[in-house]
Structure 1
């Protein structure tokens, strides 16, 4: 019959009713217990965070959380983490709760404090971060776990280990709390200033092709010597260190690690590796041969390290620039060898020698070739694939090149 509603005539089971009531009571008790715990965490976090409120009249402006009692610093970080958990809980319970607004204000206070701490550690300890060599830095900071006494032979190692761990702790906390951007901006600004200053002290400057091409050779030779003295340190100390620093401090985010290293080092690395290319494309003469080979040797020897340090896709342009410089330098050497051959032929025809006499240019050629022997490996790489293009006619030069090819 339409509209007829059938209901059970059997009364509810007392046991079922009791079970439902008991379940509701347990759930309510559990919920109340959870709220109580979160409120306690919120209160405890407030007590600790407020002690380090930058806007509070009760704290000394010269005090720093991470340069004093490490236990206090640990409690602060734990409080922030607990505060974050409490915020998530209260949001799930009631998105309009006043407790959420209160917790957000506390979080802002905490993040403002951590920003100041992060900036202070990076700026106050920049000499410490730059003091230890890249290899030592890597061995001391590759793990966030405690380092044994055996691995800490000096006070400097203890100090840098502490500094690195503090930076990582703050970065992890700020990123997980949604304030990663503020942390990263501070890091990029301060570390980029260190890289810029170091490159300036190494006398690595940016030049245009016209500047290099018009430069007197004596001046350019000094620039090349300065570059050769700086490039190994720049790669194996400066850039390697910055890569390891960003890798360690921002372990929690590969994207942030890459972004930091790229923004801090790419511009200066390009300036560094562009210089050899500009030299290679500038005026060519026999007096420039040996310095060109020195540049070729330096970049070629360092290229495996360059590939490792600048392995990120965002810094591929640095690897490309290094390869371009090597190729251009090789081309320049081949061109100078060809010019050398042509000048020998021209001089021989201009001043013929009769009888069994020795041509005046012979001594010059032999001395020049003897110096080239010191660049056996470099010349082998450069000429091995281009014996036909050189079209070398001089017996002496041909002999030297053939020996280099055979050694290759």
Structure 2
């Protein structure tokens, strides 16, 4: 064992006082020597009075020798190979014996006694160090159930193929629907809090630490703590093989396996920064509560290696998984590094900052490149024919989910994009007051809107469906913005402008879909003054027949269209009712007399206004099978 360092000037008195408190408690002894030792009122021998007799000096030396003999007996009889031998043997008499040896080795006693005590102190401290390490390394680790406890919270997934995002938003969206729910779950709840080491074990560790410090063995104590704590953390986090993963391995690794590595790393890093480090800090504070220097040195040396290993491992994974979906992994790593820096103080923090600076720079570069890749994916996506239901395009759904998730990282992204020059989009509307993140979101939104306009050109054969598609997708963007922090970035004007667009699209839909059937309900061209005229009757019959056919065609087609938002769906139905039903009632009332002269009028007057209202309530539900069934009913 290394030579013990000198104790503090006032250290012995302080720790002897603690030892005195321990040994004054009543115990049951089995020998005269132990009774004399553990029942003795411990104190440093006072400076000999110049008038004291030689007999008194001899008596003092005799008592010191008796105490030393008793302490030596307890020390040498203990078996360091038996776990817990120090804290359990003879009801804690080992620790009391150590207190006595510390007292005798501090001076004020016969030179022979002092020499023996100093030699015996080294043996006692060696055994205390063994016991200290044993208590830490053999403690039951809560991580035995970590995978089961934390896997339910993990909701980060990555595309199975890195090219999916740019080639098929539909497939990517389905796989990534819940991929970006990545915030708010990192730490354990209050009901799940844990301690790296049980409280009763910490108490024993504190007892040992007090005596090793009092005996001048601070450095040996610190080394024992660092070594044992590293082993404990390795077991807790199960990262013994992390340093095996290097860039070459990551490049050659199967994507699915690497994705699994990324998920495991993500869980470990959150656990390490938000739960483990604070508890290691708390453990150091309790064990080394009387020495700020030992607290910081022990914490730094026990954790810094694992911390750097953990984040270097993550950086290697992210390098391989660089894709738009992995930007959240990068941002979480960036924020974790900031939290990691805050966990260290003074020189330790300066050291950590220097070590992680390269990772910071690499992450910043990758985040910028990944966001640029997402932008390119939106802008350059190959257009394909959309679904014939007018519903929300997968690219729009995925893009908005992606963008709104970025809002949770707005502060971090403002740091990363602080000097990011952005051209294009409509970001000029809010001037220089817009944050870098806000500017980037404006550009993303502008490109999504541009793609919506390009996609709707596929509906050139049906303008009504085109406007349903536009309403669905623009409203999806608006509702997503209103339900997230994006509204603060884009502004109220952005939202109001899109609401006006939706109203305009609704008017255009009504004109495109219902102008034709409504044209048959006009009175123009009907000579209603010649009641019963065959030409009028023929004209009325023809108008009703054409209206019926046009209505049935619209109904059978548009019941298969989808308007997912309930409010928009009801608003559109109401708009149609307010336009079609009054016109139908008016035409029916004016031509009623002519209908009476028609043979089998029900063949032409197939619907009452109430029937039309009932049928219109089926629109935009996406019920194609129902439409086919009722098409036959309507055509019968």
TM-score range, shorter chain: 0.5 to 0.7
1:67 Cα deviation after fit: 1.9
TM-score scaled by length of structure 2: 0.45
Aligned to 1:389: 421
Maintained 8 Å contact 1:212/1:282: yes
Spell out the pairing of 1:65-104 with structure 2 (5 A cutoff). 65-85=86-106, 88-90=107-109, 97-104=111-118
- Are 1:115 and 2:129 counterparts? yes
Q: What value does the CA root-mean-square deviation take over the aligned residues?
A: 4.3
* Gap runs ≥5 in structure 1: 1-24, 92-96, 134-155
Spell out the pairing of 1:121-140 with structure 2 (5 A cutoff). 121-124=135-138, 126-127=139-140
1:296 Cα deviation after fit: 0.9
- Are 1:329 and 2:348 counterparts? no
Distance 1:313 1:279, change over 3 A: same
Distance 1:392 1:270, change over 3 A: farther
Distance 1:173 1:382, change over 3 A: same
Please give the alpha-carbon distance, in whole angstroms, between the structure 2 residues aligned to 1:111 and 1:328: 47
Structure index of larger Rg: 2
Aligned to 1:398: 443
* Gap runs ≥5 in structure 2: 1-47, 147-193, 428-440, 448-480, 491-636
Please give the alpha-carbon distance, in whole angstroms, between the structure 2 residues aligned to 1:65 and 1:388: 62
Please give the alpha-carbon distance, in whole angstroms, between the structure 2 residues aligned to 1:378 and 1:219: 27
- Are 1:240 and 2:263 counterparts? no
SS at match of 1:198: helix
Spell out the pairing of 1:254-333 with structure 2 (5 A cutoff). 254-282=292-320, 284=322, 288-297=323-332, 299-300=334-335, 302=336, 305-314=339-348, 316-320=350-354, 325=359, 328-333=362-367
Aligned to 1:64: 85
Spell out the pairing of 1:134-213 with structure 2 (5 A cutoff). 160-200=198-238, 204-213=242-251
Distance 1:364 1:380, change over 3 A: farther
Maintained 8 Å contact 2:104/2:114: no
Of the three residues 477, 489, 492, the one matched with 1:407 is 489
Distance 1:221 1:391, change over 3 A: farther
1:160 Cα deviation after fit: 3.3
- Are 1:376 and 2:407 counterparts? yes
SS at match of 2:289: coil
- Are 1:363 and 2:376 counterparts? no
SS at match of 2:108: helix
Please give the alpha-carbon distance, in whole angstroms, between the structure 2 residues aligned to 1:45 and 1:177: 16
Maintained 8 Å contact 1:128/1:160: no
Distance 1:382 1:161, change over 3 A: closer
- Are 1:105 and 2:133 counterparts? no
SS at match of 1:389: coil
TM-score scaled by length of structure 1: 0.66
1:306 Cα deviation after fit: 2.1
Maintained 8 Å contact 1:299/1:326: yes
1:213 Cα deviation after fit: 4.1
SS at match of 2:216: coil
Matched length: 338
Please give the alpha-carbon distance, in whole angstroms, between the structure 2 residues aligned to 1:241 and 1:201: 18
**Higher percent of residues as helix:** 1
Maintained 8 Å contact 1:330/1:382: no
